[in-house]
Structure 1
Amino acid sequence: MTHPSQAVSVERVAPGADLALSTAAELGALFAAGKASPVEALAAVLKRIERLDRHVNAFALLDAERAYADARASEARWARGEALGAIDGVPTALKDLIAAKDWPTLRGSRVVDPDQPWEEDSPATARLREGGAVLIGKTTTAEFGWTALADSPLTGITRNPWDLTRTAGGSSGGSAAAAALSLAPLHVATDGGGSTRLPASNSGAFGFKPTFGRAAGYPSAHTGTLFHITPLTRTVGDAALLLGVIGRPDPRDWHALPAAPENWLSDLDGGVRGLRIAFSPDLGYADVEPEVATAVASAVRTFSDLGAKVEQIDLDLDDPLPIYRMLADAAVARLFANFPEQRRGLADPDFQKVAERGREIDAVAYLGAVEAREALGRRFALLHERFDLLLTPTTAVPAIAADHAAITGSRGVTPSPFTYPFNLTQQPAASVPAGLTRAGLPVGLQIIGPKYADARVLRAARAFESVRPFARPRDPA
């Protein structure tokens, strides 16, 4: 795992300091000041992964040899004063739904044939390389990102760092567990129905789903316009830093938004004073566990303390899960059509059932779901005429048992009732750690903004973090 010629040497930082616990922003500052090197940072991260990942199973692939080559190149750039940017030399991981040249993108599935050329970087991967990031490997995902469990037939269970008997949450469970445990500061994940926010909530990390199209995606995901490329980190500042790199257009993604004019870090500490914020404890239909509801209500009061005008609202909203399922099931059917019939049987049986369900959807019903989605989007757009932000719980319950599939006989766990609505509406939404249950499990608060108000959501998350610092899990023994 570690490179034999590279030993961790952090005396120039502080005796006994562990560079792996540094944020990306801190590492960039250390590199710039000559107080640490990218090679030292990588060695510290790989050493931590070697010690801790066997407990949580967050990584599907590690490439230490290539990472060390990139770290040495970064170290030389910093020494010449020619760093490519603030993330040059920072260890970074990709969820295994993100394409990277020369690395297989198996998407947590045995259906994908590993014996094929892997010749192209996704837009996010390309932007990271251009910025000098040290890519260390790929994190685990639920099969094709389809379930709220951190579990796939290919890589097995990814466990929650707060309680190893619990799931880290899906589908970006590897990214969330690794971020929470400081197994690399920066993680690129995805969110097609809550797949970043839900595991961030379960694992006590920060997950941000930008406005759809903000971070370009390619190859196109089977879930189409539900699918977002996302930062998943330990801190809000690192997510803003990462978004500044991956949040750029790419000609391969015809949904990509134009380049954002703002620097996501420039107004990050602007606070929330004077903002009009709505709080919906249930979106009108969700049944929330009492401990989660109490923790979220306490977190919401923090925004009043910070000077925002907070109003609890009652949303007479029908659960949009049928709309979401119609679109998602059809997407899975289309995905399966791309694979040879003899490979489809390698998928999780419940996933195969979703594809079968999707094949039965007719065009009229599908277009009806599209119309209902548009109506939902209009409803929230009108809500944001009155309110700058909306707050909800991220999940209705804390992390469930990691072997939930074995207990229930089904892996078909529904995403959080609070996450998929905002994939349908394509709004920016973040999950911030908002406290712990009596059993020591993280609870997440979701912060939602109107479309394109990504900077406002990040600013609100940062304001909360500044007075309610995010707790860390203890290292698994």
Structure 2
Amino acid sequence: MTAGHISTSSDTCGLSALELAAAYRDGSLSPVEAAEEVLAAIDRVNPQLNAVCLVDAEGARTAARAAEARIQEGQARGPLDGVPATIKDIFLTDGLPTFRGSRLLADAEGAADRSRYTEDAPATSATLEAGCVVVGKTTTPEFAWKGVTDSPLMGATRNPHDPALTPGGSSGGAAAAVAAGLGPLAVGTDGGGSVRIPASFTGTVALKPTYGVVPMFPSSPFGTLAHAGPMTRTVADTAAYMDALVRPDSRDWSAMPPSATVRAPGGYLEAAQEGAAPADAPLAGLRVAYSPDLGYGHNATDVEREVEGAVRALAELGAQVEQVDLGLSDPVDAFHVLWFEGAAAVLHPFGEDAVEHVDPSLRDALSRYNGYSAQDYLDAVAVRMALGKRFGALHESYDVLVTPTMPNAPFAVGSDVPPGWHSPDWTSWTPYTYIFNMTQQPALTLPCGVTDAGLPVGVQLVGPRFSDQLLVRVGAALERPLAGRVPRPRVHACSPGTP
């Protein structure tokens, strides 16, 4: 470090993306220094967590030097130029392999040859074009199929709050990396809760945008359930990252043009800044519906207590809050048709015996959920349409719906479900996430407190389609009174005593 610089390995990794950017502008820190400290932190911390499955130190250093030069010349690409980031190992990344957590890909002939990987997914290219310094790729369960993060290829990812516990999934590596200070930005996928589940379990922030707002390519085998979204430690960072991710990409025919989705003149970051601005009642006039269970969920008492605290905070911020009884039936059967038809489609190109070489729990799930007919698929689509109509009607009366993100705390690593659970299915303990993949609505989760055991609890804000910026504004306002309710994880790059 040069004289006068504020950064040390004990504080830089705890800075948000926007705090890093401010330090770059005032000269107290450089992108090269930040990248080196994150790379060193990965060396120290990742062996405990298995959050990052591939480190690209050479690429990160090259990108950091280029960002430093741009900033010194007054040519920064935007607020995220030079900020360390990670990419979930689902997204194609030029020069780096994308194994999707599967031996079917990793064991293929020539798989280790980085020169064969020559294309970026839209989220990857958007991250790079924003000037972010990609330090590596994050772990995922095989083909991102379940709500925890382990695979025969990569092993299990652990929760920074307690390494004996899961961080959730399928973007569990991304969430664990962000929570542990291994870069303030990560991009993940969400087909049934995959950014929101691990964000709730790790005390971080994640947004599942409206379907089509962030382009996807190649198209997901899970079809229009699948979204790409940012994972960060603050709502403002989420907003800044969304401004980078929302860009046209002609490879995704279903993506919406940014002009149709970005409502605030200054984009997502302006919406977040508006919500966070000091005011007596920043959410005055906002109509909020609070549903603790959507009509079919069941929550741990301490989880519901913390979420209700967040709901009270919304009222104190000026929102008009009303608890509602939605009386919904669990749409999980319809979701399973859509989900497991997609999972089977993933394996099809690898041959008839591919199922014998994948995660045993995926093999078991496919044995339970198979043989669906075209009529089953159409019936599942009809359930989606009915849900969309139901929530569309709800949002005629309410701007935002609030639910718990998860009904329970993180559980033991290496298991797909909590101990002694009544079902082997990951969907059985994620009742408040997959339903909004079916309706394609935006959903933001942010930390709101801790359980009796000191583990993070998340609150979920849901809006009508294309209300993403409204959720960012509301989340930024709510984040202020909730600040500090979730402590820094036990395993963190900045924590004294962390190996």
Q: TM (normalized to structure 1)?
A: 0.95
- CA distance change for structure 1 residues 168 and 337 in 2, over 3 Å: closer, same or farther? same
Contact 1:59/1:139, CA 8 A, preserved across alignment = yes
Match of 1:393 among 404, 427, 432: 404
Match of 1:418 among 409, 423, 432: 432
Aligned to 2:127: 128
| In the alignment, structure 1 residue 94 sits paired with structure 2 residue 87 | yes
Give the Cα–Cα distance (whole angstroms) in 1 for the partners of residues 171 and 7 of structure 2.
34
| Alpha-carbon displacement from aligned partner over 1:94-117 (angstroms, at most 9, x marks no partner) | 011111011111111112245342
Q: What is the alpha-carbon root mean square deviation over aligned residues? A: 1.9
Give the Cα–Cα distance (whole angstroms) in 2 for the partners of residues 325 and 458 of structure 1.
30
| In the alignment, structure 1 residue 278 sits paired with structure 2 residue 289 | yes
> Shift in Å at residue 16 of structure 1?
7.5
| In the alignment, structure 1 residue 39 sits paired with structure 2 residue 32 | yes
Aligned to 2:69: 76
In terms of mean alpha carbon deviation, does 266-275 or 22-31 score higher? 266-275
> Shift in Å at residue 17 of structure 1?
6.0
Give the Cα–Cα distance (whole angstroms) in 1 for the partners of residues 2 and 332 of structure 2.
52
> Shift in Å at residue 338 of structure 1?
2.1
In structure 1, give the amino acid aligned to 2:452: R
Give the Cα–Cα distance (whole angstroms) in 2 for the partners of residues 323 and 171 of structure 1.
20
Spell out the pairing of 1:194-213 with structure 2 (5 A cutoff): 194-213=193-212
In terms of mean alpha carbon deviation, does 81-90 or 14-23 score higher? 14-23
- CA distance change for structure 1 residues 144 and 162 in 2, over 3 Å: closer, same or farther? same
In terms of mean alpha carbon deviation, does 188-197 or 401-410 score higher? 401-410
Partner secondary structure for residue 165 of structure 1: coil
In terms of mean alpha carbon deviation, does 405-414 or 285-294 score higher? 405-414
Aligned to 1:347: 358
In structure 2, give the amino acid aligned to 1:32: R
In terms of mean alpha carbon deviation, does 110-119 or 446-455 score higher? 110-119
In structure 1, give the amino acid aligned to 2:73: R
In terms of mean alpha carbon deviation, does 203-212 or 253-262 score higher? 253-262
> Shift in Å at residue 342 of structure 1?
4.5
Give the Cα–Cα distance (whole angstroms) in 1 for the partners of residues 102 and 252 of structure 2.
24
Aligned to 2:491: 475
| Alpha-carbon displacement from aligned partner over 1:91-146 (angstroms, at most 9, x marks no partner) | 11001111101111111111224534211100111112222111111011111111
| In the alignment, structure 1 residue 109 sits paired with structure 2 residue 102 | yes
Match of 1:264 among 251, 261, 268: 268
- CA distance change for structure 1 residues 15 and 289 in 2, over 3 Å: closer, same or farther? closer
| Alpha-carbon displacement from aligned partner over 1:62-87 (angstroms, at most 9, x marks no partner) | 01011101111111111111122211
| Alpha-carbon displacement from aligned partner over 1:329-362 (angstroms, at most 9, x marks no partner) | 1111211112233544220122124445554000
Give the Cα–Cα distance (whole angstroms) in 1 for the partners of residues 148 and 425 of structure 2.
9
Contact 2:208/2:227, CA 8 A, preserved across alignment = yes
Aligned to 2:476: 462
Spell out the pairing of 1:74-473 with structure 2 (5 A cutoff): 74-113=67-106, 115-116=110-111, 117-259=116-258, 260-261=261-262, 262=264, 263-268=267-272, 269-270=274-275, 271-357=282-368, 359-405=370-416, 412-414=425-427, 416-470=430-484, 471=486, 472-473=488-489
| Alpha-carbon displacement from aligned partner over 1:429-473 (angstroms, at most 9, x marks no partner) | 011111011111111111101100001111111111111115321
In terms of mean alpha carbon deviation, does 403-412 or 165-174 score higher? 403-412
In terms of mean alpha carbon deviation, does 90-99 or 462-471 score higher? 462-471
Give the Cα–Cα distance (whole angstroms) in 2 for the partners of residues 172 and 16 of structure 1.
26
| Alpha-carbon displacement from aligned partner over 1:27-80 (angstroms, at most 9, x marks no partner) | 112212222111001011112221111111101100101110111111111111
Spell out the pairing of 1:19-38 with structure 2 (5 A cutoff): 19-38=12-31
Contact 2:9/2:37, CA 8 A, preserved across alignment = no
In structure 2, give the amino acid aligned to 1:39: V
| Alpha-carbon displacement from aligned partner over 1:221-279 (angstroms, at most 9, x marks no partner) | 11010000010001101110111101222100011111144310112233322100000
In structure 2, give the amino acid aligned to 1:446: Q
Contact 1:102/1:119, CA 8 A, preserved across alignment = yes
Partner secondary structure for residue 164 of structure 1: coil
> Shift in Å at residue 25 of structure 1?
0.7
Contact 2:147/2:416, CA 8 A, preserved across alignment = no
Q: TM (normalized to structure 2)?
A: 0.90
In structure 1, give the amino acid aligned to 2:464: P
Contact 1:111/1:344, CA 8 A, preserved across alignment = no
In structure 2, give the amino acid aligned to 1:307: G
Contact 1:329/1:357, CA 8 A, preserved across alignment = no
Aligned to 2:495: none
Contact 1:214/1:249, CA 8 A, preserved across alignment = no
Aligned to 1:4: none
Partner secondary structure for residue 433 of structure 2: coil
Q: Percent identity?
A: 44
Give the Cα–Cα distance (whole angstroms) in 2 for the partners of residues 248 and 371 of structure 1.
31
Contact 1:182/1:234, CA 8 A, preserved across alignment = no
Partner secondary structure for residue 66 of structure 1: helix
Give the Cα–Cα distance (whole angstroms) in 1 for the partners of residues 7 and 179 of structure 2.
23
In structure 2, give the amino acid aligned to 1:413: W
> Shift in Å at residue 23 of structure 1?
1.0
Give the Cα–Cα distance (whole angstroms) in 1 for the partners of residues 178 and 296 of structure 2.
31
Give the Cα–Cα distance (whole angstroms) in 2 for the partners of residues 9 and 215 of structure 1.
39
In structure 2, give the amino acid aligned to 1:208: L
Contact 1:391/1:447, CA 8 A, preserved across alignment = yes
Give the Cα–Cα distance (whole angstroms) in 2 for the partners of residues 156 and 138 of structure 1.
15
In terms of mean alpha carbon deviation, does 79-88 or 164-173 score higher? 79-88
Listed as ranges, the gaps of 5+ residues in structure 1 are 1-7
Give the Cα–Cα distance (whole angstroms) in 2 for the partners of residues 444 and 405 of structure 1.
20
Contact 1:278/1:387, CA 8 A, preserved across alignment = yes
In terms of mean alpha carbon deviation, does 189-198 or 342-351 score higher? 342-351
In structure 2, give the amino acid aligned to 1:181: A
Contact 2:7/2:28, CA 8 A, preserved across alignment = no
Give the Cα–Cα distance (whole angstroms) in 1 for the partners of residues 489 and 155 of structure 2.
22
In terms of mean alpha carbon deviation, does 378-387 or 138-147 score higher? 138-147
